C-alpha cells in the first residue's frame, strides 16, 4: 500500500502466520488515515499500523488482540483531527478496559490480554505507542535501532545488569510480561510508552511480535527490510521466522519512507540543470568562433 505527505511517499506491507502454534492469536492492522483540514493546523494523510500479540488460550488471545486493534482503529476513525499521541493513549486505555471486562465477563473462566504496538504516520511524522514486548525498530542509514522498550521480566533484569541480552533470549522467563492490555482494570499512569519520530527519506520501520525477533537476528532483519519492498520484506521476514522454527505466532509490518514522486522529479530536473552548460557560454563560444574564423581569413589574405 502506498501513500504519503508532500515530501515523503509512505509504503506499507504486512504479513502474519500461525507459526508454531495451533491458532493465530496475533492481529495486524494497516489502514489509511485521510488528510484533515486545509489550513495551518491541518494534518497530512498517512497510515495507522499496529501489531497485537494476544494471550489467554482457548481463542481468548485472539479476542484480546482483535479488541485492541479494533479499538484504536475506531477511535482514529471517530476523531481523525485529534493529536495522535493523545488519541493513542486514550485508545490504549479504552482497549484495556474492554479486554479486562470481556475477560471477567459472564461465562469467561480464563484471563486474557495482549501486547500492542501502534503507530500513526502523518506526512513525515510518526507517533508510536507501546505496551508489552512486541517491538518497533527504526532502520536508518543501514543501522537498526529498537525504538520501543520491552515490558518484560527479563528486560528489567537486563536493565538492572543481572542478565545479559543473550541470557535474556535464552531465559525460561522471557515470556513473563510486566505490562499488557487486559491484565488490570486500569493501566498504570505511565502506560503506554509514547515515542515521536521525524521520518527521513529512505527510513524503514518494522513492527513485530516476539515470535519473530526471538529467531531472526537484528542484522538479518535490517538486511531483509533494506533489500526488499515493504510487502515482500514483511513476507520474507515471517517466512524466515517460520523456517527457523519459531514456537509462537509471527507478525511483521514494514513501513518505507521514500522520497515523494514530486521530490524525485524535482531532483532529476535540478541534476539535469547542473549538468547543462551555463546559458551565457553558448554566445561566448559563437563569438570566439567568429573571431577565430576572421583571424584565419586575415592570415591567409596577408600571406597570399
Here the CATH number for the domain that contains residue 23 is 3.60.40.10
Instruction: Render the burial of 59-77: b for 16+ CB within 10 Å, e for the rest.
Output: ebbbbbbbbbbebbbebbe
Task: Supply the pLDDT for residue 281.
Answer: 61
184 and 100 share a domain? yes
151 and 291 share a domain? no
Q: How many domains does the chain have?
A: 2
Nearest by Cα to 35 from 46, 23, 20 = 46
131 and 275 share a domain? no
What is the chain's mean pLDDT, rounded? 88
Q: With pLDDT > 70 as the criterion, what percentage of the chain qualifies?
A: 82
Q: Which of 4-8, 48-52, 98-102, 127-131 has the lowest mean pLDDT?
A: 4-8
132 and 277 share a domain? no
State yes or no: pLDDT of 231 exceeds 60. yes
Give the residue numbers spanning the domain of 244. Answer: 2-259
505490562: which residue's cell? 179
31 and 101 share a domain? yes
Do residues 138 and 144 touch, judged by C-beta distance below 8 A? yes
Task: Supply the pLDDT for residue 34.
Answer: 92
State yes or no: pLDDT of 84 exceeds 80. yes
Query: How would residue 103 be classed by pLDDT, with cut points 50, 70 and 90?
Result: confident
296 and 223 share a domain? no
Nearest by Cα to 117 from 55, 184, 48, 218 = 48
247 and 293 share a domain? no
User: What does 198-232 look like in DSSP terms, one character per residue?
Assistant: E--TTEEEEEE-HHHHTTS-HHHHHHHHHHS-HHH
Q: Which of 5-14, 18-27, 123-132 has the lowest mean pLDDT?
A: 5-14
Task: Supply the pLDDT for residue 168.
Answer: 86
Nearest by Cα to 127 from 167, 169, 92 = 92
Residue 199: phi and psi, rounded to 5, are -80, 145
101 and 206 share a domain? yes
94 and 189 share a domain? yes
Choose between 195 and 168: higher pLDDT. 195
Query: DSSP label at 195?
Result: E
Query: How would residue 232 be classed by pLDDT, with cut points 50, 70 and 90?
Result: very high
Choose between 40 and 102: higher pLDDT. 102
Query: How would residue 304 be classed by pLDDT, with cut points 50, 70 and 90?
Result: low
Q: With pLDDT > 90 as the criterion, what percentage of the chain qualifies?
A: 68
180 and 292 share a domain? no
143 and 285 share a domain? no
Q: Which long-range contacts (CB under 8 A, 24 or more apart) does 72-77 make?
A: 72/29, 72/48, 72/116, 72/118, 73/29, 73/31, 73/48, 76/31, 76/33, 76/48, 76/120
278 and 237 share a domain? no
Q: Which three cell numbers stand for residue 243?
A: 523456517
Amino acid at each position: 500500500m502506498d501513500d504519503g505527505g508532500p515530501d515523503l511517499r509512505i509504503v506499507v506491507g504486512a504479513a502474519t502466520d500461525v507459526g508454531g502454534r495451533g491458532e493465530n492469536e496475533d492481529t495486524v492492522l494497516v489502514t489509511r488515515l485521510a488528510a484533515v483540514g486545509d489550513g495551518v493546523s491541518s494534518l497530512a494523510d498517512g497510515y495507522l499500523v499496529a501489531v497485537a500479540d494476544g494471550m489467554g488460550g482457548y481463542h481468548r488471545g485472539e479476542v484480546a488482540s482483535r479488541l485492541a486493534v479494533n479499538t484504536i482503529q475506531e477511535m482514529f476513525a471517530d476523531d481523525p483531527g485529534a493529536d495522535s499521541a493523545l488519541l493513542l493513549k486514550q485508545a490504549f486505555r479504552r482497549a484495556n478496559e474492554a479486554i479486562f471486562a470481556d475477560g471477567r465477563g459472564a461465562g469467561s473462566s480464563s484471563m486474557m490480554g495482549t501486547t500492542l504496538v501502534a503507530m500513526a504516520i502523518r506526512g513525515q511524522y510518526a507517533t508510536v505507542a507501546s505496551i508489552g514486548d512486541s517491538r518497533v525498530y527504526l532502520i536508518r542509514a543501514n543501522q537498526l535501532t529498537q525504538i520501543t522498550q520491552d515490558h518484560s521480566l527479563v528486560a528489567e533484569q537486563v536493565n538492572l545488569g543481572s542478565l545479559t541480552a543473550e541470557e535474556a533470549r535464552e531465559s525460561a522467563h522471557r515470556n513473563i510480561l510486566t505490562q499488557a492490555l487486559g491484565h488490570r482494570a486500569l493501566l498504570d499512569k505511565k502506560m503506554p510508552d509514547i515515542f515521536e519520530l521525524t521520518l527521513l527519506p529512505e527510513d524503514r520501520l518494522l513492527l513485530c511480535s516476539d515470535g519473530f525477533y526471538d529467531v531472526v537476528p537484528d542484522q538479518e532483519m535490517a538486511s531483509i527490510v533494506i533489500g526488499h519492498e515493504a510487502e515482500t520484506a514483511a513476507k520474507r521476514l515471517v517466512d524466515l521466522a517460520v523456517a527457523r522454527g519459531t514456537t509462537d505466532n509471527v507478525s511483521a509490518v514494514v513501513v518505507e519512507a521514500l522520497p515523494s514522486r514530486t521530490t524525485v522529479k524535482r531532483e532529476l530536473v535540478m541534476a539535469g540543470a547542473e549538468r547543462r552548460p551555463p546559458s551565457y557560454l553558448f554566445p561566448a563560444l559563437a563569438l570566439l568562433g567568429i573571431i577565430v574564423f576572421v583571424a584565419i581569413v586575415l592570415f591567409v589574405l596577408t600571406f597570399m
